[in-house]
């Protein structure tokens, strides 16, 4: 376990930001941290980073108790903030040298790490340019490079793709996967469910200052019951086909519009093969698809809320 938060409480005056929050971060994983606005994600991140102290409970990182005085832990953490935190009056390479120096890098090690990070985020040809001349996506990539230049064991990324173009977003997501392959543990927060679904090994959903559920995507899907929906286009739509589909055990309803059929079954009914057998016997189909539950379905079911592109 690379990090753990146990019964962590943090209050701001009368507001409880973290309410006995428990969170485990497994070494080598990409953990998606999700929650609606005000859920406590940012406070949890700041506590993990040692930027603030909790009121009670215990936070450990690298098997050591974390607090605002533990500089040694912070030297092995990288933080990518939602806001761009690079210096506009320094070039890309000067920014990387500055942040590397803050973490104690110098000489050949600093030079090599800076060059490696420029190449990693695709900014080698922009090394001597100032961030003000960069696109939003390039600035985000430089922001990530500055958090990685000291090669941290734990990287925390707070909304790293807000407001950028699809090409830059894809570049960042591929970079995150590559970072994890090289052994860095990643905590990734995002308001984009598809990002979390694409790259994360596990997901923790936070609401009202607590982790309400955590696990792999498959484990989360299994916690919430859904109706199974199958869509097919019949080559020869007819009443016999409709009747036989309705008669399948577990089928709740069959909706027909022309040659388009939607078959609704109870969760886990396993009716797909039976549906296809009946459709094939009654003239066949030209197309077929299943509705799969998504991470957003889980999130909405558990919290009753939507994610928005705002900081909590």
In the predicted model, is pLDDT for residue 285 greater than 60?
yes
Confidence bin at 298 (pLDDT 50/70/90): confident
Q: Name the more confident of 300 and 231.
A: 231
**What per-residue confidence (pLDDT) applies to 209?**
94
Average pLDDT over residues 52-63: 96
pLDDT tens for 8-48 read: 999 999 999 999 999 999 999 999 999 888 889 999 999 99
**What per-residue confidence (pLDDT) applies to 312?**
39
Residue 180 CB contacts under 8 Å (≥ 6 apart), including other chains: 28, 29, 30, 186
**What per-residue confidence (pLDDT) applies to 49?**
94
How is residue 292 annotated by DSSP?
A: P
pTM over 0.85: no
The pair of three-digit structure tokens given for residue 232, joined into one six-digit string: 């097919």
Q: In what order do the strands lie in the sheet with 251-257?
A: 251-257, 260-265, 228-234, 285-291
H or E stretch including 49? helix 41-49
Average pLDDT over residues 49-74: 94
How is residue 55 annotated by DSSP?
A: S
**What per-residue confidence (pLDDT) applies to 192?**
84
Q: Name the more confident of 22 and 308.
A: 22
pLDDT tens for 198-235 read: 999 999 999 999 999 899 988 887 766 677 889 999 99
**What per-residue confidence (pLDDT) applies to 225?**
63
Give the integer Cα–Cα distance in Å for 237 and 224. 34
**What per-residue confidence (pLDDT) applies to 269?**
78
In the predicted model, is pLDDT for residue 266 greater than 60?
yes
Is the separation of the CB atoms in 257 and 231 below 8 Å? no
**What per-residue confidence (pLDDT) applies to 310?**
41
**What per-residue confidence (pLDDT) applies to 305?**
63
User: What are the structural domains, with CATH classification, of the chain?
Assistant: 3-222 (3.40.50.300), 226-292 (3.30.70.920)
**What per-residue confidence (pLDDT) applies to 307?**
55
Q: Minimum mean pLDDT among 103-107, 247-251, 286-290, 299-303: which range?
A: 299-303
Average pLDDT over residues 182-199: 90
In the predicted model, is pLDDT for residue 309 greater than 60?
no
In the predicted model, is pLDDT for residue 78 greater than 80?
yes
Which residue matches tokens 């961030």?
131
Confidence bin at 251 (pLDDT 50/70/90): very high
**What per-residue confidence (pLDDT) applies to 144?**
92
The pair of three-digit structure tokens given for residue 134, joined into one six-digit string: 């960069």
Q: Report CA-CA distances (Å) from 120 to 39, 50, 101, 172, 182.
A: 33, 27, 19, 10, 12
The pair of three-digit structure tokens given for residue 6, joined into one six-digit string: 């146990």
**What per-residue confidence (pLDDT) applies to 311?**
40
Give the integer Cα–Cα distance in Å for 288 and 286. 7
């Amino acid at each position: 376990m690379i990090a753990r938060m146990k019964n962590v409480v943090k209050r701001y005056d009368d507001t409880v930001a973290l309410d006995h929050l428990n969170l485990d971060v497994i070494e080598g994983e990409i953990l998606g941290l999700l929650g609606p606005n005000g859920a406590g994600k940012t406070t949890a991140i700041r506590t993990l980073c040692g930027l603030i102290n909790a009121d009670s409970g215990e936070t450990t990182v690298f098997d050591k108790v974390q607090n605002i005085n533990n500089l040694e832990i912070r030297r092995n953490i990288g933080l990518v903030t939602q806001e761009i935190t690079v210096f506009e009056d320094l070039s890309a390479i000067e920014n990387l040298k500055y942040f590397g120096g803050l973490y104690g890098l110098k000489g050949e090690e600093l030079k090599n790490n800076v060059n490696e990070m420029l190449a990693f985020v695709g900014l080698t040809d922009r090394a001597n340019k100032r961030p003000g001349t960069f696109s939003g996506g390039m600035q985000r990539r430089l922001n990530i490079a500055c958090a990685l230049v000291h090669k941290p064991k734990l990287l925390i990324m707070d909304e790293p793709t807000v407001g950028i173009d699809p090409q830059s977003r894809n570049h960042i997501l591929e970079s995150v996967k590559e970072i994890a392959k090289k052994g860095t543990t990643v905590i990734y927060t995002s308001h984009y469910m598809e990002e979390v679904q694409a790259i994360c090994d596990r997901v923790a959903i936070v609401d009202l200052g607590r982790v309400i559920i955590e696990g792999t995507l498959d484990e989360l899907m299994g916690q919430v019951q859904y109706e199974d929906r199958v869509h097919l286009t019949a080559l020869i739509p007819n009443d016999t086909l409709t009747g036989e589909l309705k008669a399948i055990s577990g089928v709740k309803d069959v909706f027909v519009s022309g040659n388009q059929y939607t078959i609704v079954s109870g969760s886990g009914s396993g009716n797909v093969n039976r549906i296809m057998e009946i459709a094939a016997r009654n003239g066949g189909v030209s197309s077929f698809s299943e509705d799969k539950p998504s991470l957003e379905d889980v999130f909405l079911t558990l919290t009753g809320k939507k994610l928005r592109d705002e900081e909590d």
